[in-house]
């Protein structure tokens, strides 16, 4: 009986519900930036999609751990903060979302999207979280129409203003009246 009790004490605690093992998070934190952030079925997204989206906060916190571990070495650190903000927002944690989105502003045009366009998109998304429809409209109207501007996303946030971000970000909200 004593041996059984000692065996129970010696075993690892169960893995968090959002991770399959205690080592899974560590393995994800060791991925390169593209594998961690841009793999649409892996990296942090794999965690966010578990348990019908119940792991979005765990995914956001994993992203923040990744940023802390790779501080200064990330080519797209702004995008990591953006994705952490989105995950907090999807989980209904608006204040945490805004805090991360505020860290996603850019100064340079190092990607295909000019910083000015990206920053207006960030402005509009933050306006959604702080319930400022006028600022959201202003940000959306400042974006040009066309691909790769995210104007359609801000249109969706306007069309479904007042709904949770998880609903308003959905492509179904992006068609219709806000134009």
Length of the chain: 179
- Quick one: pLDDT band at residue 16, thresholds 50, 70, 90? low
- Lowest-pLDDT range, 53-57, 58-62, 158-162? 53-57
Distance between CA atoms of residues 114 and 70, nearest Å: 25
Three-state secondary structure call for residue 15: coil
Q: Which two tokens stand for residue 106?
A: 């850019």
Is the predicted pLDDT of residue 110 greater than 90, yes or no? no
What does each C-alpha distance from 17 to 50, 65, 124, 134 come to in angstroms?
9, 18, 33, 40
Alpha-helical (H) ranges within 70-174 are 77-90, 94-101, 115-129, 133-141, 151-159, 165-168
Q: Are 44 and 63 in contact (CB under 8 A)?
A: yes
- Quick one: pLDDT band at residue 177, thresholds 50, 70, 90? low
Average pLDDT, the chain: 90
Using only the alpha carbons of the chain, give its radius of gyration.
19
Question: Per-residue pLDDT averaged across 22-27, rounded?
Answer: 92
Question: Per-residue pLDDT averaged across 116-126, rounded?
Answer: 97
Question: Per-residue pLDDT averaged across 121-135, rounded?
Answer: 98
Is the predicted pLDDT of residue 9 greater than 60, yes or no? no
Give the pLDDT of residue 14.
46
**Best CA proximity match to 118, nearest among 142, 91, 86:** 142
- Lowest-pLDDT range, 78-82, 109-113, 139-143, 171-175? 109-113
Is the predicted pLDDT of residue 179 greater than 60, yes or no? no
Is the predicted pLDDT of residue 13 greater than 60, yes or no? no
Give the pLDDT of residue 71.
84
**Best CA proximity match to 157, nearest among 142, 132, 148, 144:** 132
């Amino acid at each position: 009986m004593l041996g059984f009790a000692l065996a129970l004490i010696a075993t690892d605690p169960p893995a968090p519900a959002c991770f399959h093992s205690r080592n899974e998070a560590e393995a994800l934190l060791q991925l390169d930036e593209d594998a961690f952030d841009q793999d649409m079925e892996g990296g942090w997204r794999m965690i966010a999609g578990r348990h019908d989206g119940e792991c979005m906060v765990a995914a956001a916190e994993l992203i923040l751990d990744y940023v802390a571990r790779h501080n200064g070495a990330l080519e797209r650190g702004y995008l990591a903060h953006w994705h952490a903000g989105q995950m907090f927002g999807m989980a209904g944690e608006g204040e945490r979302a805004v805090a991360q989105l505020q860290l996603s502003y850019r100064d340079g045009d190092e990607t295909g999207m000019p910083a000015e366009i990206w920053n207006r998109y960030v402005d509009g998304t933050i306006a959604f979280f702080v319930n400022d429809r006028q600022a959201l409209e202003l940000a959306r109207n400042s974006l040009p129409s066309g691909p790769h501007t995210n104007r359609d996303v801000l249109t969706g946030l306007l069309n479904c203003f007042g709904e949770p971000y998880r609903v308003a970000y959905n492509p179904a909200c992006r068609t219709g009246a806000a134009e």
